[in-house]
Amino acid sequence: MNTILVTGGAGFIGSNFVHYLIRETDLNAVVLDKLTYAGNLASLKGLPSNRMTFMQGDIADATLLDDLLPKVDAVVHYAAESHNDNSLHDPRPFVDTNLIGTYTLIEAARKYDVRFHHISTDEVYGDLELDDPQRFTETTPYNPSSPYSSTKAGSDLLVRAWVRSFGLRATISNCSNNYGPYQHVEKFIPRQITNVMDSVRPRLYGQGLNVRDWIHANDHSSAVLTILERGQLGETYLIGADGEQNNKTVIESILEIMGEPAEAYDHVVDRPGHDLRYAIDSTKLRTDLGWLPQYSDFRAGLEATVQWYRDNEPWWRPQKAAAEAKYQMTGQ
């Protein structure tokens, strides 16, 4: 392998992966990104132009893919509409990008016989009770709840069918909630950090007992690279770092880290269909491929993330007002 096409490489996790690839390997990256509201070229600032090239475009553009795919050795497919709340108000772009876009991409990967890695989410498995001793594994049945997660589930199934029916050289990974630098301010952790910076009280959906299994974006990147290099074709790997926290605890930690009283937040209307708990068992990835997460201290990772948003206001400020205007419409 020499050159990797990274779709959605101007988004949160995709840009973290491109930085990781350039820092930790000799591989080169071609980023294909439509630059929707969630894409930000500033997230790729500082990367060497002889190692990373950027192409603005849609993954559903088959003509563009005919030009790009013959020039790369593998595709890592991050591009997606990624935000559950948006999918509840306007599902159409989720169908277009997550389903039609992924379909167009795997057809191109099949045509040019290019190695393909599909990035997906633990949300395809639905949710768990708070006291369920089981966590998600690769054999948990699919049971998605939202328009977002159902289109991601559909995209996984497309990839699986292309592996079986056409011999597509593909792997799939399903990861839990990521945090770290370059995350859009619509998402939970950056929204609350930037609210506190703006002297606005953080917003907790419902009672805040919902649990997410947090993993640092760098650990997600190292796992994806491990699967790309050593994963078995046709296999699915779950990625998680044993980071379960409920939302109330996360919001209180952010307030403490930022020097505010831990109770200085508001409860707001809950998300319709809000998944209660996600939890990943990543034994397969650890045992079969020898992967281990490096960021095991969530509190330390959160402190570094708070510092990143404090240091990088010019990166997030242009998106903040539009993100909050969307939430105002639902009272969240």
Residues annotated as part of the active site: 122-123, 148
- Position among 4, 5, 13, 196 found at the interface with ligand NAD (CB under 6 A): 13
Binders in 49-78 for ligand DAU, by CB under 6 A: none
Which of the choices ligand NAD, ligand DAU, none does residue 36 contact, using the CB cut-off of 5 to 8 A by kind?
Answer: ligand NAD
15 binds ligand DAU (CB under 6 A): no
Strands 236-239 and 211-213: unpaired
Q: Are 280 and 213 in contact (CB under 8 A)?
A: yes
> Which residue has the closest beta carbon to ligand DAU?
121
Helix axes 247-257, 298-311, angle to 10 degrees: 60
Helix (H/G/I), strand (E/B), else coil: 13: helix
**What is the total residue count of the chain?**
332
Q: Half-sphere exposure (CA, 13 Å, Cβ side) for 236?
A: 21
- Quick one: 176 or 253, whose CB is closer to ligand DAU? 176
194 binds ligand DAU (CB under 6 A): no
Q: Are 95 and 153 in contact (CB under 8 A)?
A: no
130 binds ligand NAD (CB under 6 A): no
Cα–Cα distance between 197 and 82 in angstroms, integer?
25
Cα–Cα distance between 257 and 169 in angstroms, integer?
45
Question: What is the nearest approach in angstroms of ligand NAD to the Cβ of residue 263?
Answer: 27
- Position among 146, 177, 221, 305 found at the interface with ligand NAD (CB under 6 A): 177
- Quick one: 114 or 323, whose CB is closer to ligand DAU? 323
Binding site for ligand DAU (CB under 6 A): 82-84, 121-123, 176-177, 187-188, 191, 203-205, 208, 210, 212, 247, 271, 278
